[in-house]
């Protein structure tokens, strides 16, 4: 309490004792914690420690704003602090206008700082067990407090309940593109993270050395030390890398294989396919990592019992099984060979110089060279081309068969963006996707007039001739066996919108809803259920003259019994800016002006869009 010659009102900015403007006979200290009433900037009073709104003792007609919400994570590990972020982020979202603070160990803070989850990231001052009367919310109540539920309730659910969060929200990176640039030079690699501070979680280094040798493609080993204690063959070893560098490398990675450690949590949060090797945890690993979208586990009684073969089975088997399921290994007949010869003589190999080629294109080029010099191998290569072509015809994506695919996301659906002539708008569209930009496949309809940098994170597909919207849909159906998105090049979204649409698709699938397409602002940004569309026999109408093809597409989906889900413009975050494709191309404009899509559509469906009377196209009236 203040002495008789002191007061608690505003003091001098220097913090020294000075005359109080409210009580001239007393002195005030600037060092006293100050509080500003919501309605009066000059009324400053020491705030209470609780979070309730109370009347100001100096200005009874005004109220004291709530104190900050401080969440303290007492566990020292990086993984603990990273998993606690989802609970802290949910508390912030549920309390708009409240200042939120998330405190973690000094060791974990540089990693947590990469994410946008609280107004302030601080360093914890308690370890696991809260002090009596401590005003902070405790994310981790201590091992003894939580022992009874450790194997029954997922860790992230415990964290959420401990801070009273309504749900769990994985946070976004603060600067995703800047961080991605930190790892662009190592894109498409498999990352190994062999070390953990808990020796019980550590798989023997000999296993990691074997993985570095046998995993196809480039392998990166994350080493927390200044120098690796063991060699890893031809693998690239990153020693003592900064959090920014590590996050960038993981963002660009094909997959991460790690111990039950912080790097596995980081990879999971970033949405990168992750394989966790573990042994000491008495419950299923899903209780620790199941909140992340792309996790697999190799779990034994002890981490020391994990074998390299267990991991290689997860990595290598899907590729082999995919080939077996798509093109069953059988005798390559004379008819097959004759058909393949006709294909080789008539097909044009489409590929982009300097970029990885599809397997059938590469093998086809090899075959051309072998015909004269190695006739004994020519038939064998033709058979390999035939297998690759059959896979390609069934829509198997390149990343399923090519270890060096530059796109770092294996399972997230590709985003097809048709492009003609407004590079400025396309750049805005790609930038608006944020961390989802590497999923983009730009369909370059410019006729080869655009130059694309080799350092880009997205793909470019150059057709022989410009594609219509229906032809772009057909391309997507062939290239993406599962889900795929369509995005106008003259529009913008936000990274959160793309994530929300993906999450809605996951929810619909889990609920068993037969959905065909999810719309936002009509088809400006939309996600298609390619597998179900293919099963129902839905195909783009390649004969429809330019306009109305989107209406025809949605009509087919509806009459096939599939649901069209409209998520709206997501609070104005989906915007259509408008381009000048028609105005810039005289021939294209003439074609549109002379074509009659409305007559075609009316004949096909018995009425214009919204007025259709036929449920079967071209049926007699």
- CB atoms under 10 Å from CB of 1, counted, come to 4
Residue reference for tokens 């072998």: 370
Tell me which of 173 and 5 has the higher pLDDT: 173
Banded pLDDT at 375 (limits 50, 70, 90): confident
Q: Looking at per-residue confidence, does 250 or 444 come out higher?
A: 250
Mean pLDDT of 366-374: 70
Q: Which of 293-297, 365-369, 476-480, 597-601 has the lowest mean pLDDT?
A: 365-369
Range 415-605 classified under CATH 3.60.10.10? no
pLDDT higher at 110 or 402 = 110
Instruction: Find the helix or strand (DSSP H, E) in which 357 lies.
Output: none
Residue 56 has pLDDT above 60, yes or no: no
Architecture of domain 183-322: 3-Layer(aba) Sandwich (3.40)
- The average confidence (pLDDT) of the chain is 78
Q: What is the pTM of this model?
A: 0.51
More confident position, 548 or 566:
566
Q: Which pLDDT band, with edges at 50, 70 and 90, does 133 fall under?
A: very low
Mean pLDDT in residue range 80-94: 93
Q: How buried is residue 546: exposed, middle or buried, by Cβ count under 10 Å (0-12/13-18/19+)? A: middle
Q: What is the mean pLDDT of residues 146-166?
A: 76
Per-residue pLDDT band at 376 (split at 50, 70, 90): confident
pLDDT of 406 over the 50 cut:
no
- What are the extents of the domains in the chain? 69-172, 183-322, 334-400, 415-605
Q: Mark out the alpha helices in 95-154 (DSSP H runs).
A: 109-112, 143-146
Judged against a pLDDT cut of 70, whether residue 561 lies above it is answered with: yes
The DSSP secondary structure of 145-191, one letter per residue, reads: HHGGGTTTS-HHHHHHHHHT-SS--PPEESSHHHHHHTTGGGTTPEE
92 versus 455: the higher-pLDDT residue is: 92
252-284 per-position pLDDT tens digit = 998 999 998 899 999 999 989 899 998 776 667
Find out whether 264 and 276 touch, Cβ atoms under 8 Å.
yes
């Amino acid at each position: 309490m203040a002495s008789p010659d002191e007061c608690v009102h505003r003091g001098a900015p220097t913090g020294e004792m000075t005359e109080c403007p409210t009580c001239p006979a007393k002195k005030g200290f600037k060092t006293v914690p100050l509080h500003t009433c919501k309605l009066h900037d000059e009324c400053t009073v020491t705030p209470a420690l609780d979070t309730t709104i109370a009347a100001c003792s100096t200005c009874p007609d005004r109220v004291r704003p709530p104190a900050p919400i401080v969440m303290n994570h007492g566990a020292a590990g990086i993984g603990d602090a990273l998993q606690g972020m989802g609970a802290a982020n949910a508390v912030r979202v549920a309390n708009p206008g409240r200042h939120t603070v998330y405190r973690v160990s000094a060791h974990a803070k540089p990693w947590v700082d990469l994410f946008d989850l609280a107004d302030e990231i601080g360093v914890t001052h308690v370890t696991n067990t809260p002090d009596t009367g401590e005003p902070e919310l405790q994310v981790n109540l201590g091992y003894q407090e939580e022992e009874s539920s450790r194997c029954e309730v997922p860790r992230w659910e415990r964290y959420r309940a401990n801070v009273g969060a309504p749900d769990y929200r994985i946070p976004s990176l603060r600067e995703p593109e800047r961080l991605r640039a930190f790892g662009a030079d190592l894109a498409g690699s498999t990352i190994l993270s062999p070390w953990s501070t808990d020796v019980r979680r550590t798989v023997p280094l000999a296993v990691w050395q074997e993985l570095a040798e046998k995993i196809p493609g480039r392998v990166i080993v994350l080493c927390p030390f200044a120098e690796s204690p063991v060699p890893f063959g031809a693998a690239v070893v990153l020693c003592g890398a900064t959090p920014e560098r590590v996050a960038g490398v993981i963002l660009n990675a094909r997959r991460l294989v790690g111990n039950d450690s912080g790097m596995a949590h980081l990879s999971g949060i970033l949405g990168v396919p992750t394989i966790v090797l573990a042994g000491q945890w008495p419950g299923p690993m899903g209780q620790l990592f199941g909140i992340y979208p792309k996790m697999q586990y190799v779990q034994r009684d002890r981490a020391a019992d994990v074998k390299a073969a267990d991991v290689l089975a997860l990595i290598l088997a899907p590729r082999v099984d995919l080939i077996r399921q798509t093109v069953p290994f059988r005798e390559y007949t004379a008819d097959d060979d004759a058909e393949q010869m006709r294909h080789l003589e008539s097909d044009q190999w489409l590929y982009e110089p300097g970029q990885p080629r599809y397997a059938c294109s590469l093998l086809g080029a090899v075959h051309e060279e072998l015909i004269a010099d190695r006739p004994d191998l020519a038939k064998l290569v033709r058979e390999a081309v035939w297998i690759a072509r059959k896979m390609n015809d069934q829509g198997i994506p390149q990343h399923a068969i090519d270890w060096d695919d530059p796109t770092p996301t294996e399972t997230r659906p590709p985003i097809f963006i048709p492009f003609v002539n407004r590079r400025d708008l396309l750049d805005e569209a790609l930038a608006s996707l944020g961390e989802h930009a590497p999923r983009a496949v730009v369909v370059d309809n410019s006729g080869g007039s655009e130059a694309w940098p080799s350092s880009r994170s997205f793909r470019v597909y150059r057709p022989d001739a410009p594609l219509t919207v229906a032809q772009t849909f057909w391309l997507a159906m062939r290239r993406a066996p599962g889900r795929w998105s369509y995005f106008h090049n003259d529009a913008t979204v936000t990274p959160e919108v793309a994530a929300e649409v993906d999450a809605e698709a996951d929810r619909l699938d889990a609920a068993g809803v037969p959905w065909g397409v999810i719309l936002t602002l009509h088809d400006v940004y939309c996600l298609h259920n390619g597998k179900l569309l293919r099963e129902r026999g839905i195909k783009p109408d390649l004969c429809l003259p330019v306009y109305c093809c989107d209406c025809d597409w949605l009509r087919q989906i509806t009459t096939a019994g599939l649901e069209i889900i409209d998520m709206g413009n997501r609070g104005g975050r989906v915007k259509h800016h408008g381009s000048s494709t028609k105005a810039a191309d005289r021939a294209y404009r003439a074609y549109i002006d002379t074509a009659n899509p409305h007559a075609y559509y009316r004949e096909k469906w018995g009425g214009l869009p919204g007025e259709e009377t036929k449920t079967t196209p071209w049926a007699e009236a």
